[in-house]
């Protein structure tokens, strides 16, 4: 995957995380969290996220091995995968406390923004 494609995928993941967090916040604001069908709503969203995340992670790790950015490491990218998946799932369930989800979102967005900056530096 070339740098421009990686940049596009990273920006799409960032938007997806932001949308999931908005959905979580809207659900938390309601009296009762909306009910979602697991097989119709949740599983397809998580499966799609996993597939895109795998492709992105492989390309992002390859990029940091080549570019060797000072403040971005493979472990951070792997954490983005795990934390991002948690955010997507919580956007449907809303069982985690708001500060925990907010911390996950901030962590993911911070790392994605670092990667975006590094890609732009080298493009």
Per-residue pLDDT at 1: 84
Domains held by the chain: number: 1
Question: Rounded mean pLDDT of the chain?
Answer: 93
Distance CA(26)–CA(21), nearest Å, equals: 9
Per-residue pLDDT at 105: 97
Distance CA(114)–CA(120), nearest Å, equals: 10
Question: Tens of pLDDT along 28-80?
Answer: 888 777 888 989 999 999 999 999 999 999 999 999 999 999 999 999 999 99
Per-residue DSSP letters for 48-95? HHHHHHHHHHHHHHHHHHHH--TT--HHHHHHHHHHHHHHHHHHHH--
3-state secondary structure of 111: helix
Task: Name the residue with higher pLDDT: 96 or 20.
Answer: 20
Distance CA(2)–CA(39), nearest Å, equals: 34
Query: Looking at the predicted structure, is the pLDDT value of residue 98 above 90?
Result: no
- Percentage of residues in the chain with pLDDT exceeding 90? 77
Distance CA(88)–CA(23), nearest Å, equals: 9
- For residue 55, what are its two tokens? 């492709």
Range of the domain at 35: 3-121
**CATH number of the domain encompassing residue 101:** 1.20.120.440
Cβ atoms of residues 82 and 110 within 8 Å: no
Per-residue pLDDT at 97: 84
- For residue 37, what are its two tokens? 């069908």
Distance CA(91)–CA(55), nearest Å, equals: 22
């Amino acid at each position: 995957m070339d740098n421009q494609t990686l940049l596009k995928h990273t920006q799409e993941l960032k938007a997806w995380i932001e949308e999931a967090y908005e959905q979580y916040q809207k659900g938390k604001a309601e009296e009762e969290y909306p009910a979602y069908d697991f097989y119709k709503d949740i599983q397809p969203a998580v499966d799609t996220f996993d597939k895109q995340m795998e492709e992105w992670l492989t390309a992002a790790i390859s990029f940091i091995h080549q570019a060797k950015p000072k403040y971005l490491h493979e472990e951070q990218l792997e954490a983005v995968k795990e934390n991002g998946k948690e955010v997507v799932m919580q956007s449907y369930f809303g069982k985690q406390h708001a500060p925990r989800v907010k911390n996950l979102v901030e962590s993911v967005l911070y790392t994605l923004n670092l990667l975006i900056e590094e890609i732009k530096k080298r493009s």
